[in-house]
């Protein structure tokens, strides 16, 4: 069961370039980044950055998306679990947006692969000058 509730989301940045000749084979690369900022009253904002690019010609074919989600979370929920659950909630919206926009751009739709966030290290920066902790 998820510890978060999605209150809303929006795309804050989207850029796309396809300057490759028709029929060029693309070798896709993907990079994901996700951060959560906590606010009062058990609310947080998750920001997801997704980059898709041709590994051989990154300046000629790329897609950059920043998606922001506002979440509420359960009282007493651990921040690491909020991080994982908010990512899992927001990711399908990012995936659908990338697929829809690339399909409408006249190229085969790109379906970005899921990342296993639970097997990744989550770094938490606490205020007060403490060093990051890996969980």
Q: How many domains does the chain have?
A: 1
CA distances from 1 to 84, 95, 98 (A): 12, 22, 27
The domain that contains 41 carries what CATH number?
Answer: 3.10.420.10
> Which range of residues forms the domain containing residue 108?
4-134
The conformation of residue 122, written as its DSSP 8-state character, comes to -
Rounded to 10 degrees, the C-alpha dihedral 116/119/125/131 comes to -150
Is the Cβ–Cβ distance between 52 and 98 less than 8 Å? Answer: yes
pLDDT at residue 22 in the model: 86
What pLDDT is recorded for position 124? 53
pLDDT attached to residue 42: 95
pLDDT on residue 114: 86
pLDDT per residue of the chain (135 residues) written in tens, 0 to 9: 789 999 999 999 999 999 999 888 999 999 999 999 999 899 999 999 999 999 999 999 999 999 999 999 999 999 999 999 999 999 999 999 999 999 999 889 999 988 776 766 655 555 444 444 444
């Amino acid at each position: 069961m998820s510890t978060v509730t999605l209150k809303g989301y929006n795309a804050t940045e989207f850029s796309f370039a396809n300057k490759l000749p028709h029929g060029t084979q693309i070798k896709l690369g993907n990079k994901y980044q996700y951060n959560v900022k906590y606010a009062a009253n058990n609310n947080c904002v998750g920001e997801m950055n997704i980059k898709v690019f041709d590994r051989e010609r990154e300046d000629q074919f790329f897609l950059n998306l920043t998606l922001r989600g506002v979440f509420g979370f359960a009282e007493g929920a651990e921040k690491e679990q909020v991080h994982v659950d908010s990512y899992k909630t927001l990711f399908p919206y990012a995936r659908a947006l990338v697929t829809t926009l690339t399909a409408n751009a006249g190229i085969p739709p790109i379906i970005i692969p899921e990342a296993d966030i639970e097997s990744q290290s989550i770094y938490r920066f606490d205020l007060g000058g403490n060093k990051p902790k890996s969980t």
